[in-house]
Chains A and B, each alone.
Chain A
Amino acid sequence: MSDGIKRRDFLKVVGAGGAGASMFGCSTQQVEKLLPYVVPDEEITPGVSTWYTSVCGECPAGCGTWVRTREGRVVKVEGNPDHPISEGALCSKGYSAVQGLYNPDRLTSPMVREGDDFRGIGWEEAEALLAERLQGSGGHLFLTGPMGHSMTELVDEFLATVGGARVEYDGLSEAPLREATRIAFGRNVLPTFDFAGSRLVLSFGADFLETWLSPVEYHRSFARMAGVDDHGTKGRFVFLGPRLSLTGQNADEWVPLQAGAEGVVALAMANVIARDGGNAGPYQAFLRAYDPAAAEEASGVPAAEIEALAQRFVSEGPSLAVGPGVAGHHRNATAANLAVLILNTVAGNVGRTVRLDTVDQASAARPFAELRAAMAGMDRVGVAMVHGANPAFSLPEGAGFQEAFGAAGFRVSFASAMDETAALSDLILPDRHPLEAWGDSNPRPGLFALQQPAMQPVPHFDSKQTGDVLLSVSARMGRDLGPATFFDFLRDRWRDIRPLVTADQSFDAFWRESLRKGVVEMPNRRGDAPVALRSPDTPLIFDFPALDGDGEFTLMVYPSPRFGDGKHANRPWLQELPDPVSKMAWHSWVEVNPHAAERLGLRTGDVVAVRSPHGQVEVPVWTYPGIREDTVALAMGGGHTSYGRFADGNGENVMALLSGDVEQPSGALLHLAARVTLEATGERRPMATIEGSSDQHDRPIAPAVSVTALGHGGGGEAAEEGEHGQGGHGELKEIQALGGFAPVATEGKPEDFPLEGSRHGQYDPEENPRWAMAIDLDKCTGCSACVTACQAENNVPWVGEEQVVMGRDMHWVRMERYYETVDASHSGPVDVRFLPMICQHCGNAPCEPVCPVYAAYHTPEGLNAQVYNRCVGTRYCANNCPYKVRVFNWFGFSDVPEPMNWGYNPDVTVRSNGVMEKCSFCVHRIREGQNRARIEGQRPVRDGEVVPACQQSCPAEAIVFGDIRDPHSRVAQLSQNERSYRVLDALINTQPAVTYLKKVTFHEVQSGEH
């Protein structure tokens, strides 16, 4: 793929009218025009992708990206393999950036308020208006979300000339962790965590696979620890918290710890370790008060259990403890985070798995309290400007943002699409999307990355980069800041970065290298600062936090893995993406333990009123065994009112249940501070879920093997012996031409596939590859990045809530999730199985013989192909598919509003209604690889050269694709692994090309339990 990358010095101006863009139009007119470039763009070859490095702007983690463009249009975002944070992967939110760029609800021009409405105006008028207002009485406010360092500097320079203050607000800020780090070590930084280097990880409610700090990076790191290695060993993960998030579902053991008890349990563990010789520094005496017996009394976790866990935390090291995160931000969250840091220190983890970089970084994880202070003085603010934040939506009503914002003299929003805060403004100056704007990021001390525009601004929207607006407005006010554009400003800032990174490169060479690679690092950035615990300078309470109200249930409000705090709710891909935990799309739900639900007479789908002392929402119940009986949980991000057609009215804004108070001393917004009641409303609603069943019903879909059985031949398909026939595949049978079956002798080796005699279609093993995939379920975490990556790559439509309810969702990858062992009543093993189900490309495919028009057939390369132009939509194939992976386009789901069609991948046919479709093994990428191999001197395709979108996206590195007939290929070797099996193959002889590797558990897998 690197062959296709081109260097980009700066954005070239494409010739008049986006010339060349219509070369692939699907015009129904008979006469089609071919528009050449007036002046050719040296970076663009029609029909060949051009890639640009950039930075993902969807969350503050700062993953590096490669942006794929065709004929000047962005068509896909992928991870930059050279970037140390993302290492080539991205999450679903990152992939959805394309839908932010082409979102039809973006603003088409600047707008000014007229009564209750807005009127579109030109940029000249808009900037003049802002300049005029800023000339007025000083004391302006610039409220911003997390920004790159150059933009931060520009805003500060701008405010220095016009008079005002900058306040940063991040709805998902981990301020308590930062404050705890300051108290513990005297350092004003967020630590970084090395999961891969650990053998035992404890999470006290940190959802590091979903939303906590840097999910993609920690995902990869975690999977490297948790995946079983060649020696049959793997790291262990214990989750302590009231609710199994996706992170919790990936744990080996679960201590269903009551929310708020993290501090006492962590301290009791530290007490045990300190007693046995660990060094707690100034906390040595303090820890004595927290012995396991006291912790048992406070938390309900048996003292023996705490003692054992503490001893394992040392003996099974290197170990690592993290948490709690946003969902656990209760009144003593800083104390809880400090307790976890003390535990890490006592166990000797600081400097090993918990690292503090040498350089402090000022702008990370600002607390809500800073915004609250600014809100208190809002009536003295002349112009309140909001950029990259939507506090009118993401703060609880009780925080009073709406009233405070209304008190400002003049309100300006830099939102690129209308949102709840922009709707309250007097002037809206639409910003560019990160994919069409300059910027930079500094996600770690000493790590710098450039965000470069990958295309010209989408012409439907008359937008302007906020940095350019600030420069232009200050020039209008006679206070020129120097550079004419934000690009010049940014490039100047990077002159200061060069000497940190390189001594001998000229700036121009450094700049080009930075753009080409996308990221630069200070040579010594990873140096560890020597740290020791300091005596606390702040009084802290480690006990149970107080909760508002006296309802029956503790309320947990957690950041959605799909929407964060709601920022991503206007992306239909993310709305349609089934939540990794609940498998529900589009609407909200409240998670209730089945025993609690039974007590209240509630079933899944019953709409209940959830009431806290601060507010109420009505949502359907979803019974979930992975939550404590005394706790209910709701995800943030739903219930928008002014955020475009894809967000408005879907779900409920659960922030209504919170008070808006802050935690002391960090100043973070309280997320876990109320008790609620549930009351049935008597209504039921259909749930937009893709979950057929959470139980495997004794079918060998996602079997597991215990770690002790590994290496004894117990993991492989032989383990199924006696249950599903003899040996690996049972007795394999071929279909005879005239019907009936005949047995075939095979040992199940990859080169045996497809089996002799089963050559339906045109499969020709003599000279062709047999494309195959291996998926390691011990690494797969169920994060569902592959689902969105596949959707982006293959032009897979979304269908909407109503159609999902009817089971007409069209994803080509279905992330299945089965509970095996999930029990919230006591500590013990937890076992949740994930399985990405795609077309299995069966060697003996049930879908193929039933197609009356031969649209489904087998190719010479072993693909189960679907020829769209042959398909007449009988749907026989879907009925006959035992894996339920064929999806049908019932209506014109591919007809998307302009300009979303700009994001379609031109290498993949856009299917119309009435056509069956399914995973193609990314056949277009296979062809691309073959074409490249042929024009590069007729060489063979190399192993690993063809990478399907799902494999490319996987942050856990669980997926491998290749030619199974090449015995040296990775996929052939993995398919011979002792853990390998093929889903349902032993029962129905489908001979899939997808080999799964069983999950490895620490507990014994019971006979009969798969």
Chain B
Amino acid sequence: MKKPWVIVAATGAAALLTLAFVQSQEGEPPPPVQNATTVQPIAFPHNTHAGDFQIDCQYCHFSAERSVDAGIPSVASCMGCHTVIPGRNSPEEVQKLRDFWQRGEPIPWVRIYKVADHVRFPHMRHVAADAGNLECQECHGTVEEIEVIQEVDQPLKMGWCVDCHRENDASVDCTVCHY
């Protein structure tokens, strides 16, 4: 008695899945980040700051160790150095920063890294605790060598996360990230 029901259910499920898949194919937006959109309001060179000057990532991304969010530095934080440092290579970009500061405006940085809305990625668990030896570069690439930040080759897809979790014996339970 049970088996026909199972088959019906499985068929129905398969149909639904196919439907969902087709819909998602048709309606899927283009990849979220395109090169054209990564033009930042200020040409901030990560290689100069993190590479040449060896500034620690968490000097600017200040909450990565204690929050789910890594944190975007405040304009005041930039001005902490750039009040006196005019910018060796491109003083005109530093001037843009000072203009934002003068106007009291936040800098509208273009977001590069974003996991889907239904994913919860706690930075502090990866930076500070379980994966204490996990370098930012593992996910974000060799930032200290890159002038304009682009998303690294790996897409921020679930398989990529799960692979790493498996390699490091971390939980692959759904509700670790989805709730």
Segment touching A, from B87-95, B100-108, B137-145: B100-108
Residue B114 CB within 8 A of the other chain: yes
Are A32 and B175 CB-contacts (below 8 A) given A38-B106, A853-B17, A935-B124? no
Residue A865 CB within 8 A of the other chain: yes
Per DSSP, are chain B's interface residues mostly helix, strand or loop, or mixed?
loop
Residue A826 CB within 8 A of the other chain: no
Interface mask (A315-349 → B, CB under 8 Å = 1, otherwise 0): 00000000000000000000000000000000000
Return A596 CB to nearest CB of chain B, in Å: 50
Residue A281 CB within 8 A of the other chain: no
Interface mask (A794-814 → B, CB under 8 Å = 1, otherwise 0): 000000000000000000000
A37 engages B37 (CB within 8 Å): no
Most A-side CB within 10 Å, residue of B74, B117, B173: B173
A38 engages B105 (CB within 8 Å): yes
- Contact residues in B for A920 (Cβ distance below 8 Å): 175, 179
Question: Which residues from 592 to 645 on chain A have a C-beta closer than 8 Å to any C-beta of chain B?
Answer: none
The one of B37, B104, B173 that contacts A16, using a Cβ cutoff of 8 Å: B104
B130 engages A38 (CB within 8 Å): no
B179 engages A31 (CB within 8 Å): no
Question: Which residues from 931 to 955 on chain A have a C-beta closer than 8 Å to any C-beta of chain B?
Answer: 931, 934-935, 938
State A627–B29 Cα separation when bound (angstroms).
61
Most A-side CB within 10 Å, residue of B17, B111, B123, B128: B111
Interface mask (B49-83 → A, CB under 8 Å = 1, otherwise 0): 00000000000000101111101111111000000
State A853–B34 Cα separation when bound (angstroms).
32
Are A867 and B178 CB-contacts (below 8 A) given A859-B173, A909-B118? yes
Return A976 CB to nearest CB of chain B, in Å: 28
The one of A39, A45, A863 that contacts B71, using a Cβ cutoff of 8 Å: A45
Q: Which residue of B lies closest to A18 (CB)?
A: B106
Residue A128 CB within 8 A of the other chain: no
Residue B148 CB within 8 A of the other chain: no
Interface mask (B5-42 → A, CB under 8 Å = 1, otherwise 0): 00001101100110010000000011011100100000
State A867–B118 Cα separation when bound (angstroms).
9
Residue A481 CB within 8 A of the other chain: no
Return B108 CB to nearest CB of chain A, in Å: 5
Residue B98 CB within 8 A of the other chain: no
Return A836 CB to nearest CB of chain B, in Å: 21
- Contact residues in B for A907 (Cβ distance below 8 Å): 120
B34 engages A30 (CB within 8 Å): yes
Residue B122 CB within 8 A of the other chain: yes
Are A37 and B174 CB-contacts (below 8 A) given A16-B106, A48-B67, A934-B125? no
Are A762 and B173 CB-contacts (below 8 A) given A39-B74, A40-B74? yes
Return A433 CB to nearest CB of chain B, in Å: 27
Interface mask (A20-54 → B, CB under 8 Å = 1, otherwise 0): 10010010001111111111100001111000000
B106 engages A927 (CB within 8 Å): no
Residue B129 CB within 8 A of the other chain: yes
Residue A739 CB within 8 A of the other chain: yes
The one of A23, A859, A908 that contacts B174, using a Cβ cutoff of 8 Å: A859
- Contact residues in A for B16 (Cβ distance below 8 Å): 852-853, 872, 874
State A38–B106 Cα separation when bound (angstroms).
5
State A40–B73 Cα separation when bound (angstroms).
8
The one of A40, A859, A860, A870 that contacts B77, using a Cβ cutoff of 8 Å: A40
Residue B157 CB within 8 A of the other chain: no
Are A923 and B104 CB-contacts (below 8 A) given A859-B173, A872-B20, A935-B66? no
- Contact residues in A for B171 (Cβ distance below 8 Å): 860
- Contact residues in B for A859 (Cβ distance below 8 Å): 173-175
A30 engages B104 (CB within 8 Å): no
Interface mask (A141-184 → B, CB under 8 Å = 1, otherwise 0): 00000000000000000000000000000000000000000000
A47 engages B63 (CB within 8 Å): yes
Residue A199 CB within 8 A of the other chain: no
A33 engages B129 (CB within 8 Å): no
- Contact residues in A for B166 (Cβ distance below 8 Å): none
Q: Which residue of B lies closest to A738 (CB)?
A: B2
A923 engages B20 (CB within 8 Å): no
The one of B2, B30, B129 that contacts A935, using a Cβ cutoff of 8 Å: B129
A46 engages B179 (CB within 8 Å): no
The one of B111, B114, B122 that contacts A927, using a Cβ cutoff of 8 Å: B122
Residue A544 CB within 8 A of the other chain: no
Residue B110 CB within 8 A of the other chain: yes
Q: Which residue of A lies closest to B3 (CB)?
A: A739
- Contact residues in B for A868 (Cβ distance below 8 Å): 118, 178
State A870–B9 Cα separation when bound (angstroms).
17
Q: Which residue of A lies closest to B34 (CB)?
A: A30
- Contact residues in B for A908 (Cβ distance below 8 Å): 179
Q: Which residue of B lies closest to A908 (CB)?
A: B179
- Contact residues in A for B74 (Cβ distance below 8 Å): 15, 36-40
State A35–B105 Cα separation when bound (angstroms).
9
Question: Which residues from 868 to 902 on chain A have a C-beta closer than 8 Å to any C-beta of chain B?
Answer: 868-870, 872, 874, 876
Are A35 and B106 CB-contacts (below 8 A) given A26-B117, A872-B16, A908-B179? yes
- Interface size class on chain B is 35 or more
Residue A857 CB within 8 A of the other chain: yes
B124 engages A931 (CB within 8 Å): yes
Question: Interface residues of A, CB < 8 Å — how many?
Answer: 51
- Contact residues in A for B73 (Cβ distance below 8 Å): 36
Per DSSP, are chain A's interface residues mostly helix, strand or loop, or mixed?
loop
Residue B160 CB within 8 A of the other chain: no
Return A934 CB to nearest CB of chain B, in Å: 4
B37 engages A39 (CB within 8 Å): no
B10 engages A852 (CB within 8 Å): yes
The one of A20, A762, A852 that contacts B9, using a Cβ cutoff of 8 Å: A852
Q: Which residue of B lies closest to A937 (CB)?
A: B129
Most A-side CB within 10 Å, residue of B30, B33, B72: B72
Q: Which residue of B lies closest to A920 (CB)?
A: B179
The one of A39, A852, A869, A927 that contacts B118, using a Cβ cutoff of 8 Å: A869
Residue A277 CB within 8 A of the other chain: no
A938 engages B129 (CB within 8 Å): yes
- Contact residues in A for B65 (Cβ distance below 8 Å): 935
Residue A418 CB within 8 A of the other chain: no
Return A51 CB to nearest CB of chain B, in Å: 15
Return B149 CB to nearest CB of chain A, in Å: 12
- Contact residues in A for B71 (Cβ distance below 8 Å): 45-46
B37 engages A36 (CB within 8 Å): no
Return B146 CB to nearest CB of chain A, in Å: 18
Return B119 CB to nearest CB of chain A, in Å: 8
The one of B17, B29, B34, B106 that contacts A17, using a Cβ cutoff of 8 Å: B106
State A38–B73 Cα separation when bound (angstroms).
9
- Contact residues in A for B63 (Cβ distance below 8 Å): 45-48
- Contact residues in A for B117 (Cβ distance below 8 Å): 26, 909
Are A36 and B106 CB-contacts (below 8 A) given A23-B69, A853-B13? yes
State A850–B68 Cα separation when bound (angstroms).
34
State A861–B176 Cα separation when bound (angstroms).
10
A30 engages B37 (CB within 8 Å): yes
The one of B20, B75, B110, B178 that contacts A38, using a Cβ cutoff of 8 Å: B75
Residue A293 CB within 8 A of the other chain: no
Q: Which residue of B lies closest to A35 (CB)?
A: B106
Q: Which residue of B lies closest to A33 (CB)?
A: B108
A923 engages B118 (CB within 8 Å): no
Question: Which residues from 163 to 179 on chain B have a C-beta closer than 8 Å to any C-beta of chain A?
Answer: 171, 173-176, 178-179
A36 engages B72 (CB within 8 Å): yes
What is the interface of chain B, defined by CB distance below 8 A to chain A? 2, 9-10, 12-13, 16-17, 20, 29-30, 32-34, 37, 63, 65-69, 71-77, 100-101, 104-111, 114, 116-118, 120, 122-125, 128-130, 171, 173-176, 178-179
Can you report 7 residue pairs joining A to B where beta carbons are below 8 Å apart? A23-B72, A34-B108, A35-B107, A47-B69, A865-B175, A868-B118, A927-B179
Nearest 10 CB-CB pairings of A with B = A852-B13, A47-B69, A934-B129, A47-B67, A47-B68, A40-B74, A32-B111, A37-B74, A36-B72, A869-B118
Q: A16-B106, A852-B9 are in contact. List 9 more A-B contacts (CB 8 A).
A: A23-B72, A31-B37, A33-B110, A34-B109, A36-B73, A909-B118, A909-B179, A935-B66, A935-B125
